[in-house]
Structure 1
Amino acid sequence: MLLKVGELARHTGLTVRALHHYDAIGLLAPSARSEAGYRLYNAADIARLHAIQALRLLGLPLAEIGGLLGAEGGSLPTIIRRQMASLDQQIAQATALRERLGLLEQRLAEGAQPDMKDWLATLEQMSIYGRHFSPAELKSVMSNWRTVADQWPPLIADVAALMARGVPADALEVQPLAMRWMNLMGQWMDGNFDLIARWGEMYRREPVARGDDGPPAELVDYISAAMGVRMAALLRHLSTADLARLGKPPEDEWRRLAGELAALQARGVPPGDEAVQAIAREWARLFDAFTGHDPALAARLMKAMGAEPVLQAVAVVKPPARDYLLHAMALLQQKNPPPPASTP
């Protein structure tokens, strides 16, 4: 099978002009030409193009790539291993790409020659990620991916279960999953809302970026709609800058405290009791850290949670335990009022 230059450009995401330039500098010369003089590329040419693009992603200039390929004798297994090592450090959501590279490496080690479609699919993914993100951004996303990878499959399964039951995306029942999704995306993308938005746009628009094992587009649209409801509620009280400053919610600690609080309330222990006050102090400490030690931001978030049913749907403490906790925290503040603001 031979590809014309335009066909190769469409498959790889490169421009015809770039391929012509590679030919002109002797980096990638087509193996054949048609009777009309059109460039024709075979499987070996596509394999070499894969190697060129792999080395480009490693940061090597074109002037050095030709010599390196010549020195290594076109050793594709070596180049693929180097590319995989780089991807492990630079690309977050490139799991599908990494798996393809592993398959190619394995087949090469076994003495098999990868199909042309394998090379083309890999080149296409490389091109898509490179169009949307800088190398520094990809490196950050890949580094963070290791910390969140295990949390995605169960969350995706929970969202899929709600969809299967026909629960509308704007139902309060979906909000706990919307919060988990938002928190996980924030942890993955370092709270960078621009990066989150660009990743979501790429995921929706580029089927190749989703790979074979990513959540389907309809599931992403569903949870995005639910997150839109949550974001609208938050933005009625906070700015996007406020949201970016919020830390990772200490959910496990809050759940533990909520259980202890519910037990004390069930026993009729008054909010002013030292056991309840100890929980209030710990809760205040965690909330202060979560809101970046900013009392004004903490106050705005508390107001939002008190006013928005969407946010209350995911609160760890439910009424009347919430009123019990707020009463305890008010008593705690009376005992330990904040220092007066200094005057210039």
Structure 2
Amino acid sequence: MLLRVGQLARRCGLTVRTLHHYDTIGLLSPSVRSDAGYRLYAAHDIARLHRILALRELGMPLADIGTVLDRPETTLPAVITRQIAALDAELARKTTLRKRLARLGEQLARDEAPDPADWLTTLELMTMYDTHFTADERDRLPFLCPDNARESEWQTLAAEAHELMQGDIPPHDDAARALARRWMVALERDTASDPALLGKLEAMHRETPALQAKLGITPAMADYVQRAFAEDQLSIYRRYLSDEEFAFVSARYPQQMPKWPSLLAELRQAMRDGIAAHAPEAQFLARRWLALFRAYAGDDPRTHEKLRRAHQQEPALRQGAWVDDEVLAYLGQAMARLGPAK
């Protein structure tokens, strides 16, 4: 099938002007010229147009689409899979909202006053995802995609945490630490290992009682799990530190640990923005990393070396930490170029 620009515009619901714009910026150009001199769109041009429109629908700016389309992994099946996942997540959200609206409608039809708490929950569900995440982020966040196995897993984790808290089991207990490891690994998976998405999800959870009720995860429970995870990591550090060093680190680490993800998110963003490791912005992030490290490790280089060795030799310290080799390499380059602080 070969189509002229006007025919393609009518068939796909675009304007001729839009297709001309895509041609001008090099995003989509007719690949065939007829004997009469008409420029025509072939089947592979239509496939490319599908990918363009799908990525636009997922929230990607036109300026970025051309670069993304040139990547080998951006095949049409891959893009369609992302579209389906985004639609599934949106359908799940709207299905939940529809059920609540139907219940409110039935109550109003019977001249019954809806429960204000239930009404507020419905209003929260109407806005919470759109308020905290862009369309592209909602597509990339596994936590928002309907998955019965994932939902069951989180219900089990929440129930176990509730039982431990009800039993006054301290965070350093083996059972609490084991739960925390499973929790954080699942959370890292369900935020696509992206610390920026983690930060937004945590903010949404903190600010949305409806989501807390839906998940059965209270802020107190989240704090308990985070403290248990800190205790689990400290149990590994204990094998590398002297008694005096461990006393110093363990008194400070639980308060500093929650600050790492936001800094990791900034480092990832700097990498995505193409900021060189020697640039002032990267140097600033490297200094903040060192300051955070010293906030719990102190200033003794011997302690620093022991903690670094622990991270090199203990893979468990990387689990549930939202850190990868690429970020660590970038950070290492930035630190190697650190000059005196100004």
| TM-score, normalisation: structure 2 | 0.38
Q: Highest CA radius of gyration, 1 or 2?
A: 1
